[in-house]
Amino acid sequence: MNQTFWISNMGQIIPCSPNGHYAYIEQNYERLFGKKPLNEAEIHDKPYLHGWVHIQNHFNTFNVRGNPQAIKQYGSKIRDVIFDRLMEERQFTVNIEYNNKAMINNFGTSYSFNMPDQFEDLRRAL
Q: pLDDT tens digit string along 52-103?
A: 999 988 777 888 989 889 999 999 999 888 877 656 556 778 888 776 555 4
Residue 113 β-bridge partners = 94
Closest CA to 51 of 81, 23, 84, 77: 77
Phi (first) and psi of residue 51, to 5 degrees: 85, 20
How high is the pLDDT of residue 106?
Answer: 56
The range of the structural domain enclosing residue 90 comes to 2-125
Instruction: Give yes or no for a contact between 37 and 43, defined as CB atoms under 8 angstroms apart.
Output: yes
How high is the pLDDT of residue 20?
Answer: 87
- Amino acid making up residue 102: A
Count structural domains, the chain.
1
pLDDT for 38 beyond 60: yes
Q: For residue 67, how many C-alpha atoms fall within 13 Å in the half-sphere facing its CB?
A: 13
- List Cβ neighbours of 81 (8 Å cut-off, separation of 6 or more): 5, 7, 13, 55
**pTM: predicted TM-score of the whole model, two decimal places:** 0.79
Instruction: Give yes or no for a contact between 109 and 98, defined as CB atoms under 8 angstroms apart.
Output: yes
Mean pLDDT for the chain overall: 83
